Structure 1
Amino acid sequence: MYRFGVTPWERYGKAAADSIAAVLHREEAERSRPLGRALDLGCGRGQFTPELGRRGWEAVGVDYVPAAIEAAERKRPEGVTYVVGDVTNLAGAGLGTFDFFLDIGCFQGFEADRRRGEGRSVSALANPGATLLMLAFGVTRLRGRIGGVSQAEVEDAFPDWEMLDVRPAETAGLGWPMNRSSPQWYRMRLRPE
């Protein structure tokens, strides 16, 4: 899709920048400084990873599309790292552990086995008390084309995590048919062992 310039998730990120900033601010408000390490799952060309770094996270972006990571590297600010990797299998990537995970539109595009793979992968890299903030479309008749998941499917993929909050996401800038997908922000915390 990058090759053809079809990147609706980037258009949404620009249109919903204020609402995304608000959920990140809410996430950071209950943390002390320094914030810790953050992993931007499915970071693409690095639209949100630099914002995490600017906010004080030690930010790492991961995506399995080498061309996207190359584009992110060209505009990489100091203190931000990008890695080519599969979010459903990060165990061998040598990334270390993280305090916060951000998934804006990555998880929703996977089939059930890959969603569970992302859940296992994130859980393996999570520090105690880590949180995950995920933006995902709801299930629609166009699921095969635009993705989409239910809350139950999110919870199924992350059995070791507690759902803290579910809120509707801004739909301005999505365009049809994605603006009919009832996007949600899911906020979860790794349960103590």
Structure 2
Amino acid sequence: MTNYERLYRLGITPWERYGRATAESTRARLDREAADRGRPLGRALDLGCGRGLLTPELARCGWEAVGIDYVPGAVEAARRNSGAGVTYVVGDVTDLNSAELGTFDFFLDVGCFQGFDGEQRRAEGRGVTALADPGATVLLLAFGATRLRRMVGGVARGDVQEAFAAWDLVAVEPAETDGLGWPMNRTAPAWYRFRLRG
């Protein structure tokens, strides 16, 4: 059993509390992403979707939404709680090719990337790049690196850019800290937006 499986079983899911507290601002970002594109929007992949808090929001915006997570219980809960137009897959975001998902126009990662070590982050970046259609974008929320990195994860801007080396970094914006208790409220979360180069 993985750490996340244990945390779900114990009902310790601070990332969901944060997601609910910042739902309005995240929804606004997703709306802005959709507004920047022509219709139909195409396919979107929610990386580390958990119990599907944000995957239905992608569908609401008009994407063909797919969520992927490696915790089977979380994916099953997402399937039970989501409406039509959303697909969920049990799979590893550091090995996306093995999931045989097809290609995507938009990738969303809210807090998944930051928990990985360097090789896993680069593997996620390679996998996303391999599945990206021309003009694809990535929207990634990650906490900044702190002295408490072992406990809360976190990455530096350079870590994010290294993993998405084939992409242009379009914007970096501070994220809200509402709903974050200590020590997470000290991690300077940021939104990173990338566009596939070429």
Q: How high is the TM-score relative to the length of structure 2?
A: 0.95
Cα deviation, residue 127, structure 1: 0.3
Give the counterpart letter for 1:105 in structure 2: G
- Identify the structure with the greater helix proportion: 2
- Match in the other structure for 1:165: 171
Instruction: Pick the aligned partner of 1:141 from 139, 147, 165.
Output: 147
Q: String of CA shifts for 1:56-94, please: whole Å, max 9, x gaps.
A: 100000000011001111112111000000001011211
CA distance in 1, matches of 2:54, 2:40: 19
Q: String of CA shifts for 1:14-44, please: whole Å, max 9, x gaps.
A: 1001111121122122101111100000000
Counterparts of residues 147-158 of structure 1 (less than 5 Å): 147-158=153-164
CA distance in 2, matches of 1:111, 1:137: 14
- Match in the other structure for 1:124: 130
- Runs ≥4 in structure 1, deviation > 2 angstroms? none
| Identical columns (%) | 67
Counterparts of residues 106-125 of structure 1 (less than 5 Å): 106-125=112-131
CA distance in 2, matches of 1:114, 1:27: 26
CA distance in 1, matches of 2:32, 2:191: 12
Determine helix, strand or coil for the equivalent of 1:39. strand
- Match in the other structure for 2:58: 52
The answer to whether 1:94 aligns with 2:115 is no
CA distance in 2, matches of 1:76, 1:21: 16
- Match in the other structure for 1:181: 187
- Match in the other structure for 2:110: 104
Unaligned runs of 5+ in 1: none
CA distance in 2, matches of 1:22, 1:34: 19
- Match in the other structure for 2:71: 65
Q: String of CA shifts for 1:90-129, please: whole Å, max 9, x gaps.
A: 1121100000000000000000000000000100100011
Instruction: Pick which of 68-77 and 115-124 moved more.
Output: 68-77
Determine helix, strand or coil for the equivalent of 2:8. coil
CA distance in 2, matches of 1:121, 1:83: 15
CA distance in 1, matches of 2:167, 2:132: 10
Unaligned runs of 5+ in 2: 1-6
CA distance in 2, matches of 1:78, 1:175: 34
CA distance in 2, matches of 1:21, 1:50: 11
Instruction: Pick which of 66-75 and 96-105 moved more.
Output: 66-75
Give the counterpart letter for 2:14 in structure 1: P
The answer to whether 1:31 aligns with 2:37 is yes
CA distance in 1, matches of 2:170, 2:83: 32
- Match in the other structure for 1:5: 11
Instruction: Pick which of 72-81 and 39-48 moved more.
Output: 72-81
Aligned residues: 192
